[in-house]
Chain A
Amino acid sequence: MIIEAIREHKLTGIVVGACSPRMHEGTFRKAVDKAGINPYLCEMANLREHCSWVHSRSDETTQKAIDIVRTLVEKVKKNAPLFPIKVPVTKTALVIGGGIAGIQAALDIANAGHQVIVVEKSPSIGGHMSQLSETFPTLDCSQCILTPRMVEVAQHPNITLHTYAEVDSVAGFVGNFDVKIRLKAKSVDFSKCTGCGACWQKCPSKKIPNEFNAGLSFRTAIYTPFPQAVPNKPVIDRVNCTWFQKGKCGLCQKNCPAGAINYDTQDELLDVRVGAIVTATGFDIKHSDFFPEYGYGKHLDIIDGLQFERLASASGPTAGEIRRPSDGKIPETVVFVACAGSRDKAKGIEYCSKICCMYTAKHAMLYKHKHHSGNAYVFYMDIRAGGKSYDEFVRRAIEEDDVNYVRGRVSRIYEKDGKLMVIGVDTLLNAKPVTIEADLVVLATAVVANQEAESLAQKLHISYDKHHFFAEAHPKLKPVETNTAGIMLAGACQAAKDIPESVSQASASASKVIGLFSASEMTREPIVAVVNRSAPPVFTTCTGCFLCEEVCPYHAIERDEIRDRQGHLIKRAAKVNAGLCQGCGTCVAMCRNKSIDLQGFSNEQMLGEVMALLNTPF
C-alpha cells in the first residue's frame, strides 16, 4: 500500500504514523526502499506506544497525535538521503594470548578458513592450564588434553604464531586494525635451531627461579619454559644471562651444533593489518607474600594454589610427590585456606575468584590420593560449586576422601617447632577457635588481572573495571564483545573463570569474528557525524578546537590537515572516522560553531521538530 502511494503521488518523504521506530522503523524503511525512495527519508510517528496506548480517547489525545505527526513531517522535510557505509574487512584475526582461551579462539577461527595471528608474550603457548596437574571435576591430566591443542596451533596452516612477542600499538577500527607487534629478541635463530637442548644443558646460570614451576625450581638463562613447550625452542633471558650482563661466557653459542645462537638480535616491530582482535590475556594470582597474617611469604611451606599444582604434577619439580618446599619431607597434615584474599574488602578484592572452591577440593583430594594416611583440612567461607558435576566433586572430597572441611576463616599462621600453627575458627561449632599444627599450608589466593592488563586496554581502547579486568559491552547480552567494535574478549582477562567457561567464551568470540568475516564488506548505518567541508577559501567552518575529540567516546575524531597544492598548511580541522563513529552526537552538541553535524539527527532536523511542536495550540 505504501509502495503504491509513493508511486501514485510521487512522494519524496514518508512519515508512517504507527508504532515505535524502535520496533518497525527497519520494516517500513525497507518498504520505502523497494519503492525507489532512499530509506532514510522515512520516519516513524509513534502514535501507538506514545499516544493511543497511554491516553484515553479525547480531543487532547487527537491533538497530540496530530502534533506527533507534524513534528516528524517537519523532520522529514529536512532529511537527507543517506547511504549505508561500506567498510572493507581484512579477514585476518589477531589473538592476543596463547593460553587455553587464545588457543581455542585461534583454532576455531582458523578452522573456519580465516587467517589467524597469535601473539604470546612468554616463550611458549599453553598459559596457566599447562601448569596444572589434574583438572576438576574429572581429574584428567591437564597437559594430556592441552598439549595436542598447542601442537595443532603450531602446525595449523592458517595460524601464524609469534611467541615471545607483545602488542606494541593498535590503530584503526573494526575491519581494519593496524597492529604493531613487538617480536622480542630471542637471541636464537629459530630457523636454524633444532631444539636439541645442548645450549641450556651447558648454561652456567642455573639459579633463576623457574616461572613455570611457580618458583619451586630453577632454570637456566637460555631456556624453554617446559619440556612440552610449543615452539620447543629456547630463548635467552637477557636479564639473567652472563653474556648480556658481564659480556663474557658464550657457552651456549660454542655448544650449539646448529650455530643458531645469535647475541646480536634486536627487538623487531612487525606491522600487521587485522579485521578483528580477540583478547585472551588471562589472569594472575596473588602470591603468599600478599598476606601479612600468613607471614608475608616468609615461610617456604605456605604456598599458593599454582605452586601446589606444580607439586602435584608428574612433570613438576617433585615428579608428582607432595613434598614440603623447605625440607622435601612429605607433609602429614596439610591445611588448605580457601578465599585467601578473595571476597575480602579489607584486601581490596571484593569479588569471588570462582575457581578456588573447586581447585581446593581437587588439591585436598589429590593429596589424599597420594598420601592416604595424611590429614587434609579445608578452611572455607562457603562452598560455591555451581557447575556440571561440580558439587558432586566437592561431596566426593568430603565423603569419600575424608577431607576435613572447617567452616571458618584463618586469622593467623605462624611457625613453632618446625610446624605451621594455623589459627582459625570453626563457625559451625559455636565459633570455637581451632588450632591445627600443619606441615604445609596451601592458600587459594585471589585471582587478579594481569599486571599489563591496564596498559593493553589503553592500547586497544577498551574499558576495564577497577580491578583491571576487561569490560564486556553488556554484562548479559554482549558478554564477549567489548565497547570497541571488532575487539572480543575470551577467558579470564574478563573475570575469573575456569577452563570450560574460558573455552566457551573463546568459541563464542571466535564465532563473532567469523560472523564479521562472513562478508568482504561491512555495512554500517550511516547515522554518523560529519564535519562540513566547502569550497576554498573556506574549506570548512571547523576551527580546529577539537572539543569533539575530547568528548568522543570512540576516538573517532581525527585531526585533518588541509594543505594547498604546494603542501603548505592552511588549517587544521576535525574529521570523523566513519568506521569508528557510533552516532551518539555528543560532538555535535559540543561543537562551538556547528561545524559538525549528525546524519539522521541533524541540527536542522531537531530544530524543525521543536519548531513544529510549538507553533500550534496544544
Chain B
Amino acid sequence: MSQFEPKIVAFVCNWCTYAGADLAGTSRTNYESNVRIIRFPCTGRIDFMLLLKAFQNGADGIIVSGCHPNDCHYTSGNFHARRRWIVFKSLLDFMGFPTERITFSWVSAAEGSKWAELVDDVTDKIRHLGPFEDFNKLDYSLINQLNDEGLTE
C-alpha cells in the first residue's frame, strides 16, 4: 500500500447533511471515497458513545454534521448536539483523547460542494495524522492486569 487510507465514519442528520451529500451526488461532485455515512434523523439523536464504538472498531476519523444552527428540522436538536459535543469534547480532552480526529460541522441540504470539501479536508487531515492505533495499543492487557488485581469488577 503506497499511501495510508483512513477509515472515516460520518454521523449525519437526515434533513441537512444527508441531503447535502445527496446533492453532491446529483451534481456529480467528486470527493474522497474514504467516508461511510450513517444516517440519523437528527444530530440530536446521535449518542456520542457510538463515536467511541466506531474508534474502538477501527475508525481513524469521524465527522458529525447536521443542520446549521437555527435551521434544525426539529427546531433545536442540533443545539442539543452542539452542547453535548462541547461537554463530550472537554471530557475527551481531559482524558487525553486526540479530539482532532473528530470534526464537528454544519452542512445544509444546499451545500453539496461544502460536503465534498469537508470530506476531502478531513480525509487529508487524518491521512497526515496517520492510523489511529491507540485503541489497539491498549490491547486490553492493562485491563486484564487490573482485573487480576481485583481493581475492577
Contact = CB atoms under 8 A, between A and B. Distances in A.
A553 interface: yes
A261 B59 CA distance: 80
B45 A585 contact: yes
Contact of B41 (A46, A60, A585, A610): A585
Interface string A582-604: 11111011100000001011010
Interface stretch (B68-76, B94-102, B138-146): B68-76
**How large, as a class, is the contact surface on chain A?**
35 or more
B30 A56 contact: yes
A82 to B, nearest CB: 14
Contacts of B53: 607, 610-611
A466 interface: no
Contact of A584 (B9, B22, B77): B77
B151 interface: no
Interface string A452-490: 000000000001000000000000000000010000000
B33 to A, nearest CB: 4
Top 4 A-B residue pairs of the complex, sorted by shortest distance between their CB atoms: A49-B25, A585-B45, A586-B44, A614-B57
Interface residues of B, number: 44
Contacts of B54: 610, 613-614
B43 to A, nearest CB: 9
Q: Which of B5, B31, B36, B58 has the most CB of A within 10 A?
A: B36
12 contacts: A49-B21, A53-B25, A53-B26, A60-B34, A64-B36, A551-B76, A584-B44, A589-B84, A610-B50, A611-B57, A613-B54, A618-B5
Contacts of A589: 44-48, 80-81, 84
B29 to A, nearest CB: 6
Given A553-B75, A584-B74, A586-B76, 4 more contacts: A54-B25, A55-B30, A598-B41, A614-B58
Interface in A50-69: 50-51, 53-56, 58, 60-61, 64, 67-68
B107 interface: no
B33 A614 contact: no
B120 to A, nearest CB: 11
Nearest to A601: B41
B41 A551 contact: no
A601 B74 contact: no
B76 to A, nearest CB: 5
Given A22-B19, A610-B9, A586 B74 contact: yes
Q: Which of B26, B33, B53, B59 has the most CB of A within 10 A?
A: B33
A584 B33 contact: no
Interface string A532-574: 0000000000000000000101100000000000000000000
A61 to B, nearest CB: 5
Contact of A54 (B19, B29, B47): B29
B44 A585 contact: yes
B38 interface: yes
A508 B81 CA distance: 35
A50 B50 contact: no
B114 interface: no
B127 to A, nearest CB: 13
Interface in B1-46: 5, 7, 9, 14, 18-19, 21-22, 24-26, 28-31, 33-34, 36-42, 44-46
Nearest to A67: B36
A598 B24 contact: no
B45 A601 contact: yes
B16 to A, nearest CB: 11
B22 A50 contact: yes
Contact of B47 (A554, A606, A615): A606
A21 interface: yes
A21 B25 CA distance: 13
B110 interface: no
Contacts of B45: 584-586, 588-589, 598, 601
Contacts of B30: 54-56
Contact of B38 (A21, A64, A610): A610
Contacts of A55: 30-31, 33
B77 A586 contact: yes
Contact of B39 (A21, A23, A483, A583): A21
Contacts of B42: 584-586
